[in-house]
């Protein structure tokens, strides 16, 4: 007598927390590496790699190498998305973690302009490209691994935890830099202290790999892969490339995801990266004060993200996301007004409130984007939508903000820039369908795994919405 096996997408009671921890630690390490570069670009890279430039021009050049990492993220999204939809989420997450850690450790031993001249910024740019490529594949796989293990009822809450890897990484990167600037003199920090946080990445990567290798592949993906292979054996379906399938069948969802990311991405890098320049240059606050304000804001950010994710399980992804976009837009002018006071407590308030509103967009994003796409194109669709927008949003945000400040010597155009991004996100999310409670197992709603329900030409998301 044979016993019925449990549903392939119903995790055991202790498997989901383990998956969440593995995804969270991995994303924390990757974001630590990525944000560490952004903080160093604002504080020391202008002096170490572009010493012959005017201070503000040197900052612009260091932010330009920072932006290069964003340019590589869409390439990473395409490559990791393709193989993640073909081979599985877990394998590609291990590769992304190794790539990111190796590049970050290499930055820690990189010779500066004083040693090798113009070769130094070239090598820095190459390593930044590797970082961006790795991060382009990390986000999609991490949030999908959690989303596809959990059920629809609490998916927003559980999928929000990998999102806390961003503030956790920011917290870790800023905390290490803050501690070093407090303990070391400016000369010692500029000479060798800045290298320590980059070299620490090697230890963090070993911990992340140990945990990440211990988890199972997504059961939803394994079930979809088995169906696709069975269909191919019967000659019913010929598998299409995930990129081709998602751009042909779900291009509208890709565009919505890109629009949804604009305010989220731009506001975050203005609040956490550009503010290190603005607060020190315009209000004469110390580097330590600016770093500590971001540190405190990131701690609050970490706490509120799961709460916003849980709220999206109750009232829907769209209402929470719209609230965050509207809040970020409305906070743009008060944000700079508070920073301009030149007071550390008001700087903390400005950064913290901005990050709370940002969390209302960032928290439901993982479940929202996962639920938009069918299983066999989900890694590609979610990654392309998220990472292609970063080229137009997060990459140039510190550059644009710094250039606007240099041209106008005022925060007004920067606030208008953030408000414009918020308006674009409000329109994109308003055009999206509500995805809460969608079953991610395509076989459960009659789809073939590519967003095409059997028997008609509509997307699985559209079919699911219509049935409701």
Residue 56, burial from CB neighbour count under 10 angstroms (0-12, 13-18, 19+): middle
Q: Please say whether the beta carbons of 18 and 145 come within 8 A.
A: no
Mark 431-466 as b/e (b = at least 16 C-beta within 10 Å): ebbebbebbbbbbebebbbbbbbeeeebbbbbbbee
Distance (Å, whole) CA 343 – CA 338: 8
Q: Please say whether the beta carbons of 55 and 368 come within 8 A.
A: no
Phi-psi domain of 5 (left: phi exceeds 0; alpha: psi -120 through 50; beta: other):
beta
Query: Which phi and psi angles does 53 have, rounded to 5°?
Result: -95, 160
Tell me the β-bridge partners of 453.
447
pLDDT in the model for residue 264: 96
**Helix intervals (H) in 316-340:** 317-339
Question: What digits encode the pLDDT tens for the residues 20-30?
Answer: 888 888 888 87
pTM, to two decimals: 0.81
Please identify which residue in the block is written with the tokens 């945990």.
211
Digit-by-digit pLDDT tens for the chain (468 residues) are 333 333 444 444 347 888 888 888 888 887 888 778 877 877 788 888 877 766 667 677 777 777 777 788 889 999 999 898 888 888 888 898 899 889 989 999 999 888 988 888 888 888 988 988 998 888 888 888 888 887 778 999 999 999 999 899 888 888 888 888 888 888 898 889 989 999 988 888 888 888 888 888 878 888 878 887 787 777 665 567 888 888 888 899 999 999 999 999 999 999 988 888 898 888 888 888 888 898 899 999 999 999 999 999 999 999 999 999 999 999 999 999 999 999 999 999 999 999 999 999 999 999 999 999 988 889 899 999 888 888 888 878 888 998 999 899 899 999 999 999 999 999 999 999 999 988 887 533 334 444 444 433 344 444 333 333
Query: Which phi and psi angles does 236 have, rounded to 5°?
Result: -80, -40
pLDDT in the model for residue 68: 79
Distance (Å, whole) CA 123 – CA 101: 16
pLDDT in the model for residue 468: 36
List the one residue out of 437, 174, 425, 158 whose CA is nearest residue 305: 158
Residue 386 Cα to chain centre, angstroms: 8
Stretch (H or E) spanning 148: none
């Amino acid at each position: 007598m044979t016993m019925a096996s449990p549903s392939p997408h119903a995790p055991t009671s202790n498997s989901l927390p383990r998956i969440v921890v593995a995804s969270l630690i991995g994303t924390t390490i990757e974001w630590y590496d990525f944000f560490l570069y952004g903080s160093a670009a604002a504080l020391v890279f202008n002096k170490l790699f572009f010493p012959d430039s005017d201070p503000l021009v040197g900052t612009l050049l260091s932010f330009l190498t920072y932006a290069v990492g964003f340019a590589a993220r869409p390439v990473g999204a395409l490559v990791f998305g393709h193989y993640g939809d073909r081979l599985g989420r877990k394998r590609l997450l291990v590769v992304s973690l190794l790539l990111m850690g190796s590049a970050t450790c290499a930055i820690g031993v990189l010779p500066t302009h004083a040693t090798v001249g113009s070769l130094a910024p070239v090598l820095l740019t190459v390593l930044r490209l590797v970082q961006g490529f790795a991060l382009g594949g990390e986000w999609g796989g991490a949030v999908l691994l959690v989303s596809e293990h959990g059920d629809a009822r609490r998916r927003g809450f559980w999928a929000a935890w990998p999102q806390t890897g961003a503030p956790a990484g920011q917290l870790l990167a800023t905390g290490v830099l803050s501690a070093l600037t407090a303990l070391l003199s400016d000369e010692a920090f500029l000479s060798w202290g800045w290298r320590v946080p980059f070299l620490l990445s090697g230890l963090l990567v070993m911990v992340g790999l140990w945990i990440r290798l211990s988890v199972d592949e997504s059961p939803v993906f394994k079930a979809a892969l088995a169906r696709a292979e069975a269909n191919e054996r019967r000659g019913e379906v010929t598998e299409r490339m995930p990129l081709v399938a998602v751009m042909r069948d779900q291009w509208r969802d890709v565009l919505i995801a890109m629009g949804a990311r604009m305010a989220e991405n731009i506001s975050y890098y203005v609040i956490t990266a550009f503010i290190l320049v603005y607060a020190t240059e315009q209000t004469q606050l110390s580097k330590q004060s600016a770093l500590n304000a971001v540190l405190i804001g990131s701690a609050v950010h970490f706490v509120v993200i799961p709460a916003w994710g849980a709220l999206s399980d109750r009232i829907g992804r769209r209402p929470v996301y719209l609230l965050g976009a509207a809040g970020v837009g409305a906070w743009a002018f008060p944000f700079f007004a508070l920073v301009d006071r030149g007071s550390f407590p008001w700087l903390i308030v400005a950064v913290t409130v901005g990050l709370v509103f940002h969390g209302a967009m960032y928290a439901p994003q993982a479940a929202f984007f996962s639920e938009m796409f069918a299983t066999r194109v989900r890694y590609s669709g979610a990654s392309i939508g998220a990472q292609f927008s970063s080229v137009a949003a997060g990459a140039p945000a510190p550059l644009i903000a710094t250039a606007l400040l240099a041209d106008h010597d005022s925060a007004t155009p920067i606030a208008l820039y953030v408000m414009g991004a918020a308006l674009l996100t409000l329109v994109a999310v308003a055009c999206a369908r509500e995805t809460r409670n969608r079953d991610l197992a395509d076989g459960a709603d009659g789809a073939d795994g590519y967003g095409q329900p059997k028997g008609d030409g509509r997307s699985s998301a559209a079919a699911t919405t219509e049935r409701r």
